[in-house]
Amino acid sequence: MDKVSIIIPFYNCAYIDQSIRSALNQTYKNVEVIVVNDGSTIHQEKVLPFLQQITYITKENGGTASALNSGIKVATGDYFSWLSSDDIYEPDKIEKQINFMKTHCLSASYASYILINEKSVPVSGPIGMEYPDRLLFYRKLKNGCPINGCTVMLKMAVFNEVGLFDESLQFTQDYDLWLRVLQKHYFKYLASPIVRYRVHQNMGTKKNAVAIKKEIQLVKKKHRKAMKELIVKEAKRYKR
């Protein structure tokens, strides 16, 4: 049975215990849970009850990409799965997704999710979209990121091909990595809401909306040539 490494970056998040619990309570049992404390100054006590069940890394604050990379470097799994410290996995997240990837011989996949509020109450139906063909998906990724990072599962070997998360990117390290992965592997969509994505006042996407928008433009510019070539190649394939 292949092992899945679930990596949870943690920085001053009040929901970290819920996140860890959801990772440990997976129906698929061959998982390792790696929590990376990225210089937290509060809520660290919420990790203490789980220390015997997780790999716990503490480091100076360096951002999400740095924390994820620290986890990846010590991971012993065959697959990578990212869980934000304010989000929750459905109990069968790993089981559903690894079976999906094996069935379709995939190196990369993503899935749908639902929104929850500060009290963990669902406030939406499933969110996510399967694109009818690769060309439309490539065009969508060229212009923005429709992929929720915590729904992604990658084979660990992918990092040997494309590198780790770019630590110079404070907010869009996921978008940048997915574009690099896309040059080597296709992301197939699992139409099942396997993650609960929390919407709350302190979430980074709200607090840093302006900076995120600027950084997205930098990532798009960085990958513009490669994505254009990928789109042209795929368009030619459709014309055959």
pLDDT for position 102:
98
Report the C-alpha gap between 69 and 75 in whole angstroms. Answer: 10
Lowest mean pLDDT of 55-59, 104-108, 200-204, name the range.
Answer: 200-204
What pLDDT, in 10s, does the model give residues 19-74? 999 999 999 999 999 999 999 999 999 999 999 999 999 999 999 999 999 999 99
Instruction: Supply the pTM of this predicted model.
Output: 0.95
| pLDDT over 70 (residue 205) | no
pLDDT for position 203:
67
Question: Domains of the chain (ranges plus CATH)?
Answer: 4-239 (3.90.550.10)
pLDDT for position 132:
87
pLDDT for position 175:
97
What would the DSSP string read from start to end of 143-168? Answer: H-----GGG-EEETHHHHHH-S--TT
pLDDT for position 16:
98
SS (H, E, C) the chain: CCCEEEEEEECCCCCHHHHHHHHHCCCCCCEEEEEEEECCCCCHHHCHHHCCCCEEEEECCCCHHHHHHHHHHHCCCCEEEECCCCCEECCCHHHHHHHHHHHCCCCEEEEEEEEECCCCCECCCCECCCCCCHHHHHHHHHHCCCCCHHHCEEECHHHHHHCCCCCCCCCCHHHHHHHHHHCCCCEEEEEEEEEEEECCCCCHHHHCHHHHHHHHHHHHHHHHHHHHHHHHHHHHHHHC
What pLDDT, in 10s, does the model give residues 156-182? 999 999 999 999 999 999 999 999 999
What pLDDT, in 10s, does the model give residues 80-101? 999 999 999 999 999 999 999 9
| pLDDT over 70 (residue 120) | yes
Q: What is the mean pLDDT of residues 206-213?
A: 82
pLDDT for position 208:
78
Residue of 154 and 131 predicted with greater confidence: 154
Q: What is the mean pLDDT of residues 220-229?
A: 96
